[in-house]
Structure 1
Amino acid sequence: MKLKIRQFWLFIFSCFLVLLSSVVFHSPTLAHWADLAVAEITVNPTKTQMVITFPTDLVSFADDNRDGQLSSQEVTNHKGELEKFIGEKIRLQNETSTDGSLVVAFSRSLPKNLQNNVNTHTTLELTYNWSQPVTELYLNYDLFLPNVSTARCLATVTQGGETQNLVLSPEKKEFALIKGSVWQQIGSFILLGIEHILSGYDHVLFLVSLLMLGGGLGYLLKVVTAFTISHSVTLSLAVLNIVTLPSQFVESAIALSIVYVAGENFWRKDIKGRWILTFIFGLVHGLGFAGILKETHLSQGNLALSLASFNIGVEIGQIIIVCLAFAILHTLRKYPWELNLRRVLSAGVVAIGLFWFVQRAFGLFA
């Protein structure tokens, strides 16, 4: 009886400690537009046009009324400054390393998913001109919020009747826009998938919690396979707009899945059939994975390739997480205090999951 009472208070203390730290040190748990940009690039022989939507904070010097979006008048008033600044951040060079002459204009072509966030982003039309037709064209993109590791620009490039989707990041910001290899598209979306799951702390905690009860390689393979199949299905259906659910509902459900799996570690005695639970909850997590792709206007012609590459990246990141967690937990099993440690960790995950659920479902602690 004393042991059960001690376990109960250990659970309560762990929940309180982790919940407190979550409130004090929490970071945003949802994928927001705050650090994301979207560009539609059309390449012609002597002219390349780019309609780009990006965080207004990057050009705050031109936001005279501080409303979070540049107006047509503000773009006109600061045209020279904008062309100088953007010309340094987004460079287009031909085969002789000659920069295109840049003209910046106001645009109202806000992406549909941004209509409710017009106080954070600005859309501009950039036109780069050359005196002679270009045979090669290279993009060097550096318009990112400083010191933001998750900053990205998802670009759709149309040239000569062919379309390509690219993910631009602070680590990968140079691409060929003419005669570009398909591997640059595949590679950029694989990296996006890896980064998306490694930075998706809710998905990480869900996977780690599934391993808390132990199990051998057979169980590990079942967990990975079940999660892979289920989230791949809903990821594809969501991106193709076959299945659509409110993001608030999806993110709240993901939080509850974490709470349930971590809480189950206290009363569940074995892992038999737990992979079925993984499959069911994986369907919800797949809808969460789709968020970043649904928020962009990816080319329908290359959507399958982008989706497959992104999914491969998610799988690579998932395997990294599961293998590391499995190795660490397996090593700890030889210590007598290992059971209490797993309970403390599970209690902490329950607390974090509950915090995220309240935050996402009711918009509190934001």
Structure 2
Amino acid sequence: MKVTGATLLRLGLARFAALLCVLLLMAAPARAHYLDIVQFTLVEQANPNVHQLVVTMPANLDANAPLIVPRHCVLMQRDSVTEGQSHIVSMMIDCDPELAEQAGTELTGQIETRWGRDGGMLQLQMLDGSSASVMLSGNRTGISLDMPVWDELAAQPPQGFLEKAWRYLELGTVHVLIGWDHLAFVFCLAMLATGLPLIGLITSFTVGHSLSLALAHLGLVNIPIAPVEAVIALSVVFMAREVFFTPGSRLSLRRAQNPEAFPESQAQVHSHRWRMGVTAAFGLIHGLGFASVLGELGVSAADTVIALAFFNIGVEAGQVLFVGAILLALAILRRLGRVEYALMHATTCLVGGMGVFWTLQRVVG
């Protein structure tokens, strides 16, 4: 058989793409539905100089991360406990006006934390039973709380509808785009069908995760996150397998090599309607993973509707962006002929392999 330069080029590109995908996927975290989102609660004390700060964060964050207080403040006590998938850190901070005078500083400053790089919620609980809350934007180092916060926050008007809606939409979009296992599942959907069937799969997945997200956030469904994460990883394995063996998928390897490999009865088992049902079922599981993010944020009862609606819209926006990027890449690769097929084959193999890796790591670890 004559080997041409074009054939060698295609093989080289496929191998390079496979290596690149391996490196990227190996860098992905095993637990892909955790964001660095925290809830800060400042509890007013009888002594106006003493503040109780309670921080609720995902269990994958370091509860012992350093905390920097203003020079006129002293960290008197720090305790932490783990409840389920969350760390709860409670601290007593004493800010003495005399210390500020001795240091020649004003009664201002910041409590600097290493948590909340993706945002958070600050809630104030007053002695008279009233409360106030505000959503916080994260940064690369973590959230800093300005001191004093009591009068400042109480004097601020409540955050408006548009401000809250934008923040929840942003969180939903970011959550999807950094969720490797979720992106892997959506990639498989994009490989599994084209045109209207693809829209049907995406829609059924959306219906599934929207329903379970709402039920879990409202407390009507309560399933531990560990088995949920394991099944999410398993869903990637299942869908990667479907990409290879389902008639009508972008690969359909057996059918491409032998059109008679799928008798009619087997094709019916793999019908589009059946795939939509399976996709919706997996969507229910993925939605439970999404709900854990809103749970970590500590959404108030008054913001439940806006949080569910716009976080979900953000999730859909992230999905649309990702699917659009895949379709654009395929349109470009289609000009390369067999290179497109080789790249899809290699990437789907890698996605399925990482699904197996995630499943084992989440079950064993």
Q: TM-score normalised to the size of structure 1?
A: 0.67
Structure 2 counterpart of 1:10: none
Query: C-alpha separation between the residues in 2 aligned to 1:192 and 1:139?
Result: 28
Structure 1 counterpart of 2:113: 143
Structure 1 counterpart of 2:252: none
Pair 1:295-2:283 in alignment: no
SS in 2 for 1:123: strand
Cα offsets for 1:189-218 (capped at 9, x unmatched): 2222111111100000100111114412x2
Pair 1:222-2:223 in alignment: no
> What is the correspondence of 1:258-297 to structure 2 with a 5 Å cutoff?
258-270=236-248, 272-273=272-273, 274-297=275-298
Pair 1:166-2:135 in alignment: yes
Structure 2 counterpart of 1:86: 69
Pair 1:106-2:77 in alignment: yes
Query: C-alpha separation between the residues in 1 aligned to 2:138 and 2:315?
Result: 17
- The question of whether the paired residues in 1 share the 8 Å contact of 2:232 and 2:285 is answered with yes
Which amino acid counterpart does residue 285 of structure 1 have in structure 2?
A: H
Query: C-alpha separation between the residues in 2 aligned to 1:202 and 1:318?
Result: 13
**CA positional deviation for 1:161:** 4.5
Structure 2 counterpart of 1:192: 171
Residues 199-208 or 187-196, more deviating: 187-196
> What is the correspondence of 1:22-61 to structure 2 with a 5 Å cutoff?
25-31=27-33, 35-41=36-42, 49=51, 51-53=53-55, 55-59=62-66
Residues 332 and 32 of structure 1, relative CA distance in 2, 3 Å threshold: closer
Residues 333 and 108 of structure 1, relative CA distance in 2, 3 Å threshold: same
Which amino acid counterpart does residue 170 of structure 1 have in structure 2?
A: N
**CA positional deviation for 1:278:** 2.2
**CA positional deviation for 1:239:** 1.4
Cα offsets for 1:111-159 (capped at 9, x unmatched): 74467x5xxx7421447799xxxxxxx99775236xxx95543333568
Which consecutive residues of structure 2, in runs of 5 or more, have no partner in the other structure?
1-14, 98-107, 146-151, 250-271
CA-atom RMSD in angstroms: 4.0
Which consecutive residues of structure 1, in runs of 5 or more, have no partner in the other structure?
1-12, 60-81, 89-100, 131-137
SS in 2 for 1:58: coil
Q: Which structure is larger by alpha-carbon Rg, 1 or 2?
A: 2
**CA positional deviation for 1:289:** 0.9
Query: C-alpha separation between the residues in 1 aligned to 2:111 and 2:202?
Result: 36
Structure 2 counterpart of 1:248: 226
Residues 302 and 105 of structure 1, relative CA distance in 2, 3 Å threshold: farther
Structure 1 counterpart of 2:342: 340
Query: C-alpha separation between the residues in 2 aligned to 1:158 and 1:266?
Result: 55
Pair 1:124-2:103 in alignment: no
Query: C-alpha separation between the residues in 1 aligned to 2:311 and 2:227?
Result: 23
**CA positional deviation for 1:174:** 8.7
SS in 1 for 2:41: strand
Matched positions, count = 299
Residues 48 and 268 of structure 1, relative CA distance in 2, 3 Å threshold: farther
Residues 248-257 or 306-315, more deviating: 306-315
Residues 303 and 162 of structure 1, relative CA distance in 2, 3 Å threshold: farther
Which amino acid counterpart does residue 87 of structure 1 have in structure 2?
A: P
Query: C-alpha separation between the residues in 1 aligned to 2:333 and 2:229?
Result: 32
Cα offsets for 1:56-88 (capped at 9, x unmatched): 4432xxxxxxxxxxxxxxxxxxxxxx6xx3238
Query: C-alpha separation between the residues in 1 aligned to 2:82 and 2:136?
Result: 17
Pair 1:307-2:286 in alignment: no
Residues 214 and 222 of structure 1, relative CA distance in 2, 3 Å threshold: closer
SS in 2 for 1:308: helix
Which amino acid counterpart does residue 53 of structure 2 have in structure 1?
A: V
SS in 2 for 1:244: coil
Which amino acid counterpart does residue 359 of structure 2 have in structure 1?
A: F
Structure 1 counterpart of 2:257: none
SS in 2 for 1:243: coil
Which amino acid counterpart does residue 269 of structure 1 have in structure 2?
A: P
Query: C-alpha separation between the residues in 2 aligned to 1:222 and 1:243?
Result: 26
Pair 1:319-2:302 in alignment: no
Which amino acid counterpart does residue 364 of structure 2 have in structure 1?
A: F
- The question of whether the paired residues in 2 share the 8 Å contact of 1:139 and 1:174 is answered with no
Structure 2 counterpart of 1:181: 159
Residues 111 and 37 of structure 1, relative CA distance in 2, 3 Å threshold: farther
Residues 37 and 124 of structure 1, relative CA distance in 2, 3 Å threshold: farther
**CA positional deviation for 1:303:** 2.6
Cα offsets for 1:211-261 (capped at 9, x unmatched): 114412x23432332222211110111112211112121111111110111
Cα offsets for 1:28-73 (capped at 9, x unmatched): 434458x5532114689x88956232744432xxxxxxxxxxxxxx
**CA positional deviation for 1:306:** 2.3
Residues 178-187 or 258-267, more deviating: 178-187
Q: TM-score normalised to the size of structure 2?
A: 0.67
Residues 272-281 or 235-244, more deviating: 272-281
Which amino acid counterpart does residue 163 of structure 2 have in structure 1?
A: Q
Query: C-alpha separation between the residues in 1 aligned to 2:285 and 2:239?
Result: 14
**CA positional deviation for 1:356:** 0.1
Q: 1:354 aligns with which of 353, 356, 360?
A: 356
